[in-house]
Amino acid sequence: MGDYIFKLPDIGEGVVEGEIVSWHVKVGDSVNEDDQIVDIMTDKATVTIPSPTDGIVTELSGEVGDMVAVGSTLVTFSTDGTENNVVEEKLEPEVIPEPVVEEKKVETAVIENKLPPQPKVKPKIKETKIVNTLKENIRILASPAVRRRAREADLDLSLVSGSGPAGRVRHADLDVYIAAGGTVTGAPPTSYSTKRTETNQIKIVGLRRKIAEQMVKSKFSIPHFSYFEEIDVTELEELRQMLNASRNEGQPKLTYLPFIMMALAKIMPSHQECNAHYDDENNIVTQHSAIHLGIATQTDRGLFVPVVKHVEAMDIWQSAAEMQRVSGAARNGTASLDDLSGSTFTITSLGRDGGLGATPIINHPEVSILGIHKAREMPVVKDGKIVVRRIMNVSSSFDHRIVDGANGAALVQALKKMLQHPALIFM
């Protein structure tokens, strides 16, 4: 029967190579047909490749992070078990764990080079030395009455463990100290931590490498300018709560994002320069009439941008449902290539961790991006009076080669008008 050489198959339209993200097998493993053997990442998605046959793995062609061309050797299987023994012993690196052996040698050397016995030191002397060393840098917290009592009793307050806030010494602490015969009853107060020197090296592969490449391409090829604004969403919040309270079973719960999506779809025909792609190699700007909104989504595998397409043809419930579908698919790893491509404008939001402002990086080849921040109640001046209103900050970035400052600001101001008077979204 002999060896079975498995080559990387064509795993997507236009895909010519993929990156090895994770091996599910190692040399010497016995696999069955359709068992998962490797995760390969393309420009758009990660694909799990199954085994094409029953056999024993004799060779893996590549390590995590390596690029493999379509049609090149990926895995070699032995379909004859008698050929595997020699290969397994030759290729299995885990048999001799070198670092462990070196560590044991070091430990042995230390044990053999024993130091002569040291004279015993009384614990009280050691504790006093520690306290005296820290005494100059630590301010003892205590009331004047406690300090006066300590002076009258000839007690050193630095030796007394305080039980009050921030280690404050109280009369009860003096009582305990005196009852214990004047010994330290707890660890000396300290503001120091153990120094940490550990390092952790992580190879950048898979999605994290793709994110890094995309961010470098966007940041270094696009001259960004950013624009910030605050929006009064008090009326929008009232509308959101009312719609959520009256929604039908099966309708998704509304956050702010569907309203923002609907508002962008409403105003974008007047700001087509912001809903565009720029091909900087051929100097061509493509303005889109369709509103395909990328929703930046954080997952446990990194940042994805699933796309809600044709928002201009949706109502508020449809846009919310589709946003939940594509973002959920991105989080659980079931998003298709179509779900992750084709955006014309991107929205990014950190939700409750949104902070006050940011400088979002444009999703190349788009020319605009909008950042949404946490809405919060704040005192504002309205009609000459100080009132409490719900305020949301937004941050935006634009490609200054294509979008002038005035045009970017006009888009955000139009969005602000829609969100502050949400009835306009539906008119």
The sign of the torsion formed by the CA atoms of 109, 114, 120, 121 equals negative
pLDDT at residue 119, as a whole number: 52
Predicted confidence at residue 105, as pLDDT, reads 42
* Amino acid present at 134: L
Residue 93's φ and ψ, nearest 5 degrees, are -75, -15
Burial of 193: CB neighbours in 10 Å, binned 0-12, 13-18, 19+: exposed
Contact (Cβ atoms closer than 8 angstroms) between residue 341 and residue 363: no
My answer on whether omega of the bond before 379 falls inside 30° of 0, hence cis, is: no
Please say whether the beta carbons of 277 and 285 come within 8 A.
yes
Find the length of the chain. Answer: 427
Cβ(351)–Cβ(339) below 8 Å? no
- The number of beta carbons lying within 10 Å of the beta carbon of residue 368 is 27
Alpha carbons 246 and 241: distance in angstroms, whole number: 9
* Torsions phi, psi for 353 (to 5 deg): -95, 20
Q: Which of 420, 397, 418 is nearest to 409 (CA)?
A: 397
- Rounded Cα distance between 299 and 333, Å, is 9
Q: How far apart are CA 273 and CA 266, in angstroms?
A: 15
Is residue 288 within 8 A of residue 278, CB to CB? The reply is no
Average pLDDT for runs of 10 along the chain of length 427: 84 77 90 90 79 90 87 87 38 38 41 48 45 52 83 84 80 83 55 76 82 88 96 97 94 96 98 96 96 94 92 97 95 89 94 86 96 95 94 97 97 98 95
Angle at 338 between CA 333 and CA 339, to 5 degrees: 50
Helix (H) or strand (E) holding 157, with range, is none
Query: How does DSSP assign 15-64, residue by residue?
Result: --EEEEEEES--TT-EE-TT-EEEEEE-SS-EEEEEPSSSEEEEEE---T
Among the listed residues 40, 51, 48, the one whose alpha carbon sits nearest the alpha carbon of residue 15: 40
Which domains, and CATH codes, for the chain?
3-97 (2.40.50.100), 123-179 (4.10.320.10), 206-426 (3.30.559.10)
Q: Output the pLDDT for position 320.
A: 97
Q: What are the backbone angles phi and psi of residue 357, rounded to the nearest 5°? A: -170, 165
Q: Report yes or no on whether pTM surpasses 0.85.
A: no
Give the list of residues 6+ apart from residue 306 with CB closer than 8 angstroms, or none: 294, 295, 297, 326, 327, 329, 330, 335, 339, 340
Residue closest to 397 by CA, chosen among 423, 421, 362: 362
Beta partners for residue 302, in sequence order = 299
Q: What is the DSSP letter of 10?
A: -
What local confidence, expressed as pLDDT, does residue 183 receive?
57
CA distance linking residue 79 with residue 310, whole number of Å: 51
pLDDT of residue 44: 61
Q: Point out the residues that are catalytic.
A: 400, 404
Tell me the β-bridge partners of 207: none
- β-sheet bridge partners, residue 391: 232, 376
Give residue 138's pLDDT. 55
**How remote is the C-alpha of 123 from its chain's centroid?**
48
Rg, the chain, Cα only = 33
Q: Which residue has the tokens 């090829």?
A: 221
Predicted confidence at residue 122, as pLDDT, reads 46
Give the HSE-up count for residue 150: Cα atoms under 13 Å, Cβ half-sphere: 23
